[in-house]
Homo-oligomer: A and B are copies of this chain.
Amino acid sequence: MPARQPAKPRARRNISEVRPYHHGDLRRVLIDAALQLAAEGAEISVREAARRAAVSPGAPFRHFPNRDALMSAVAEEAQRRFRAEIEVALDQAPAADPFGRFRAFGLAYVRWARRNPAHFEIISTGRYFAHGSSAELTRDNAELIALTEGILIEAAKQGLLRSADLKRIQIAGRALVYGFARMNLDGHLPRWGVEEDEIERMAEGVIDLFIAGIAKP
């Protein structure tokens, strides 16, 4: 028999500050521990995350119903960081120069993936948690895609494109960038893929090649 609260008379503290009970926002600490775990190349295990948070093995399950939920939260955080960096890069290219923006987008994309391989893997693969399990992740990703769409629309508006099939160009562009990023992580660039500079230059080359391919001659 629940004594229903008539209201919240007490001024609730600032919402943005989640209140610590025992540990002090164990949820966040677990997510950070998991991200660090991934960054170190280790498997993410709930137990290890708990261990690093100096908490019992069962404690995390007070904050996440199961491992997948933790992974989803981890993916959301990684996606947040990823998007932030992409947007910074995009802001440095003028909106009136769609090819420049696409270039900036592709380079930032590849660079982040290369520098945060494990996190990129978690974000992009949908293999670490049930697909569509996180609405935030889905929305974030959709916005990122819409962003590339906007770039292409602007290019079309300016009459820069050889073809009018925007969807096709968009898919091709995403496939190119995504594929190049993944080739790095998946070890498909065995010989020369060691030098950071070489990767960067090749990324530029590949993106420029693509732009030249879709640009009106």
Residues of A in contact with B (beta carbons under 8 Å apart): 121, 124-127, 131, 138, 162-163, 165, 168-169, 171-172, 174-180, 182-183, 186-190, 202, 205-206, 209-210, 212-214, 217
Contact = CB atoms under 8 A, between A and B. Distances in A.
Given A174-B179, A176-B175, A178-B188, A202 B168 contact: yes
B183 A174 contact: yes
**Copies of this chain in its oligomeric complex:** 2
Contacts of A168: 202, 205-206, 209
A139 to B, nearest CB: 12
A215 B118 CA distance: 37
Contacts of A217: 217
Contacts of A138: 190
Contacts of A213: 209-210, 212-214
B205 A165 contact: yes
Nearest to A202: B171
